[in-house]
Structure formats: structure tokens, C-alpha cells
């Protein structure tokens, strides 16, 4: 089921352009989303954005040991997210210089956002 769109985006700003849309309904939807954010302790828009943009991840020692390539130097890499849930995100690590090696899936909990993974590299440095 496709969610109902209550706003219209114009030049990176949102408006209620449709005269048939009740302003109160849009405010209630935003309020419900904010309630969920507070309950989960995360910014949902920011959190869900990683599925589109990818994110930066601190590379666990086990991964560095298993795939000792220069790609993991510095310990922070940008990866596309394999899967995202309320519990966290999954990514694949592999040896970028040796395509014959098997990849390894790694899970980052949502509560570690800003600690072991983030939307920007600067947040982890």
C-alpha cells in the first residue's frame, strides 16, 4: 500500500498545496512520526536516508584482519547498505583487490548510529 502524500516539495521546502488536504491531518502525521522517533531514539528521516545514500562505517578489527587491503586503511569506509530495519543496518565487506574472496556480512545496531556508523565521515572521526 502506497502511503498518502499530504505535502508537496517545492525548492527543498514542503507545502500543503492541495486544498482538499486537511492541515490538521498533515500535522498529526508529522506528530506520529516524531512520537516514533522519540520512542526509538533516532531521527527517522536521517536513518532511512542510508538506504539511498549509503553510510560510513568503522571497520571492525575482525574485518581488517580477514581482508587486509588498503581499502580499509583508516578504519572508516563508505558502503551502500544491504538491509535496514528498526534494529540496524547490514553491509557487506569484501576484498576490493581480490574478487575471488568471499564477502562477509556485518550488522551495525541502530543505537550505534553516530558511534560505529554514520551518514558523514566527520561524525565518526
Residues 98 and 119 in one domain: yes
- Identify the pLDDT of residue 34: 94
Give the pLDDT score at 31: 94
How high does pLDDT run on average in the chain? 83
Asked if the model's pLDDT at residue 35 lies above 90, the reply is yes
Number of continuous H segments (helices) and E segments (strands) in the chain: 3, 8
Q: Which domain does 26 fall in, by range?
A: 8-40
- Residues 70-112 have pLDDT tens digits of 566 668 888 888 888 878 899 887 766 666 667 788 899 988 8
pLDDT value of residue 32:
93
2 lies in some domain? no
Residues 68 and 12 in one domain: no
Provide the 10 A C-beta neighbour count for residue 30: 13
Residue 8 dihedral angles phi and psi, to the nearest 5°: -125, 135
Category of 41 on φ-ψ map: left (φ > 0), alpha (ψ -120 to 50) or beta: left
DSSP 5-57: P--EEETTEEE---TTS-HHHHHHHHHHHHHHHHHHTS-HHHHHHHHHH-EEE
Q: What is the mean pLDDT of residues 41-67?
A: 82
CA dihedral 36, 42, 43, 49 (to 10 degrees): -110
- Give residue 17's pLDDT: 77
pLDDT at 6 over 90: no
Statement to judge: residues 92 and 120 lie in one domain: yes
In a domain, 78, yes or no: yes
pLDDT digits (tens, 9 = 90+) for 58-80: 888 777 777 766 566 668 888 88
Same domain, 33 and 48: no
Q: What total of structural domains would you count in the chain? A: 2
Under DSSP, is residue 80 helix (H, G, I), strand (E, B) or coil? coil
Check whether residue 80 and residue 48 sit in a common domain. Answer: yes
Amino acid at each position: 500500500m502506497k502511503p498518502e502524500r499530504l505535502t508537496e516539495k517545492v525548492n527543498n521546502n514542503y507545502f500543503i498545496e492541495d486544498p482538499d488536504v486537511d492541515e490538521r491531518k498533515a500535522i498529526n502525521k508529522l506528530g506520529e512520526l516524531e512520537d516514533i522517533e522519540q520512542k526509538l531514539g533516532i531521527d527517522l528521516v536521517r536513518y532511512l536516508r542510508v538506504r539511498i545514500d549509503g553510510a560510513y562505517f568503522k571497520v571492525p578489527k575482525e574485518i581488517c584482519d580477514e581482508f587486509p587491503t588498503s581499502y580499509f586503511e583508516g578504519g572508516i569506509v563508505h558502503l551502500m547498505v544491504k538491509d535496514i530495519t528498526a534494529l540496524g543496518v547490514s553491509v557487506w565487506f569484501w576484498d576490493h583487490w581480490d574478487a575471488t574472496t568471499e564477502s562477509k556480512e556485518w550488522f551495525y545496531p541502530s543505537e550505534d548510529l553516530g558511534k560505529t556508523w554514520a551518514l558523514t565521515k566527520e561524525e565518526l572521526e
